[in-house]
Amino acid sequence: MLDGQTCLVTGASRGIGRGIAEDLATHGATVVVNYRSSEKQAQDVVAEIESNDGTAIAVQGDVSDYDDVEDMHAEIHDALGPIDVLVNNAGITIDKKFANMTREDWDAVMDVNLGGVFNCTHCFYDDIQESEHGRLINISSVVGQQGNYGQANYAATKSGLFGFTRTIALEMAHSGSTANCIAPGFVKTDMLEEVPQRVQEKILREIPLDRFATVEDISGIVRFVAGEDSSYMTGQVLGVNGGMEW
């Protein structure tokens, strides 16, 4: 289904990004597995993809650093040529009540979750526009829709993606390429592990489907958006949250 497409997934060494990278490769895409520090885990993802007859390379780069992303762009172009699909997945949390949040906590989350999206989209913009199958897919969160106690910085970045994605969708539309946001609910990854157990139990009570999402719940939707069947959908936010209200 994705034969001939090259997809860059940022933050793909673990969690949702890993699931997305493996799923896209299983469905025929050539995948770039970006990571910041988890080299061994990123190489494991590449090995897993290759063991299933897929094609992938791992590329190190801190998405919050524009020079790093420019280097990534050069490395990817040398190895594979231009990409068709960019999945801006890399993200971090630094959770604190707003009263205790420092300017450094705010900036650090902004730099990765929004700055990283700027840097990657900016450096790969021409690739996506010039592809016959260009896709920009930004991983937001239900927290960008609802807000969440202790996550003012994170929620602001995830809401920010809605306006950013909508604008890029309008600016890219003439080329036929699309830009969409996926807003997962709470997904069983390292990020959720950092949430205290009693808070996890409270969240679970608010999920009509009565379970946290698996990585596969999210990667299947990303595959749809990356694929041909979504070509008339742009500027949208797809909630994948077990029926949570927002």
Catalytic site positions = 154
Among the listed ranges 70-78, 159-167, 171-179, 182-190, the one in contact with ligand NAP (CB under 6 A) is: 182-190
Could you give the CA distance from residue 214 to residue 184 in angstroms, rounded to a whole number?
10
For the record, the structure tokens of 116 come out as: 């990283």
Could you give the CA distance from residue 117 to residue 131 in angstroms, rounded to a whole number?
19
Would you count residue 14 as binding ligand NAP (CB under 6 A)? Answer: yes
For the record, the structure tokens of 218 come out as: 């999210």
Radius of gyration of the chain, Cα coordinates, nearest whole angstrom: 17
Could you give the CA distance from residue 193 to residue 233 in angstroms, rounded to a whole number?
33
Q: How many CA atoms lie within 13 Å of 184's alpha carbon, on the beta-carbon side?
A: 27
Among 26, 38, 55, 236, which residue sits at the site for ligand NAP (rule: CB under 6 A)?
38
Provide the 8-state DSSP code for 222.
Answer: H
Query: Minimum distance from CB of 39 to ligand NAP (Å)?
Result: 8
Would you count residue 141 as binding ligand NAP (CB under 6 A)? Answer: yes
- 11 vs 242, beta carbon nearer ligand NAP: 11
- 184 vs 227, beta carbon nearer ligand NAP: 184
Residues in contact with ligand NAP, shown as a per-residue x/- string from 149 to 168 under the rule CB under 6 A: --------------------
Distance from the Cα of residue 188 to its chain's centroid: 15
Among the listed ranges 76-84, 102-110, 183-191, 228-236, the one in contact with ligand NAP (CB under 6 A) is: 183-191
Q: Give me the residues that bind ligand NAP (CB under 6 A), please.
A: 10-17, 34-38, 62-64, 89-92, 112, 116, 139, 141, 184, 186-187, 189-192
